[in-house]
């Protein structure tokens, strides 16, 4: 009887250890239409595709998608406190700024909004990653540079990782873009999922 009880206890320890090893870390994605499946269903978007891929791989993390089409950094800043109050998350990725840039918002305002979001997360000991957004060149070299510099400045000043923009290799290929020339199409979603899969793997390795 003692041997059987010991075997049961040993099995429970093994199962609990395995469960702990595969604990699902939640990565909050605060983004805009590029991550909100614009022009298609949620199930066709890159976040859903990536979460399906991660589940098959038994990855120790998944994405909670809090992206909204048309979102700005000001909108993200206003929503973030409520999200953090309701969700327990292990990391935050901010994919915002594109709509600010397309509307010609002042870079100082964009930087302030991003900085405040980082501070909100850091106040709860949540690691933050900011994606370096790019805007079309027709906004002029001066504004484009000021806009792009915002993300590197936030990364440097807050000592956080700035992620490469996942649209860099997508936007230059017309076959991967919707007719508006701004949003990735259905074909591009799997490619973005692969790009982000590598970035998430690097993030998780960095945190562990």
As beta bridge partners, residue 93 has 29, 129
Question: What's the angle, vertex CA 120, arms to CA 111 and CA 54, rounded to 5?
Answer: 95
Q: Of 88, 159, 175, 180, which one is the catalytic site residue? A: 180
Q: Which of 20, 25, 33, 194 is catalytic?
A: 33
Is 33 a residue of the active site?
Answer: yes
d(CA 36, CA 51): 14
17 catalytically annotated: no
Alpha helices in the chain (DSSP H): 2-21, 46-56, 73-86, 98-102, 107-122, 141-158, 186-207
Catalytic residue among 32, 67, 132, 183: 183
Catalytic residues: 33, 180, 183
């Amino acid at each position: 009887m003692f041997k059987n009880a010991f075997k049961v206890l040993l099995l429970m320890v093994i199962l609990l250890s395995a469960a702990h090893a595969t604990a699902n870390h939640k990565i909050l994605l605060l983004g805009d239409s590029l991550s909100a499946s614009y022009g298609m269903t949620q199930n066709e978007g890159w976040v859903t595709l990536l979460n399906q891929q991660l589940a098959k791989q038994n990855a120790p993390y998944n994405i909670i998608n809090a992206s909204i089409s048309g979102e700005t950094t000001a909108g993200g800043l206003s929503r973030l406190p409520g999200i953090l109050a309701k969700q327990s998350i292990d990391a935050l990725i901010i994919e915002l700024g594109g709509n600010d840039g397309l509307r010609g918002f002042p870079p100082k305002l964009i930087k302030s909004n991003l900085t405040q979001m980082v501070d909100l997360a850091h106040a709860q000991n949540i690691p933050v990653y900011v994606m370096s957004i790019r805007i079309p060149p027709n906004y002029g070299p001066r504004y484009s540079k000021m806009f792009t510099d915002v993300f590197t400045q936030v990364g440097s000043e807050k000592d956080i990782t700035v992620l490469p923009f996942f649209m860099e290799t997508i936007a230059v290929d017309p076959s991967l873009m919707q007719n508006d020339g701004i949003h990735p199409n259905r074909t591009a979603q799997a490619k973005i999922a692969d790009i982000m899969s590598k970035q998430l793997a690097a993030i998780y390795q960095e945190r562990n």
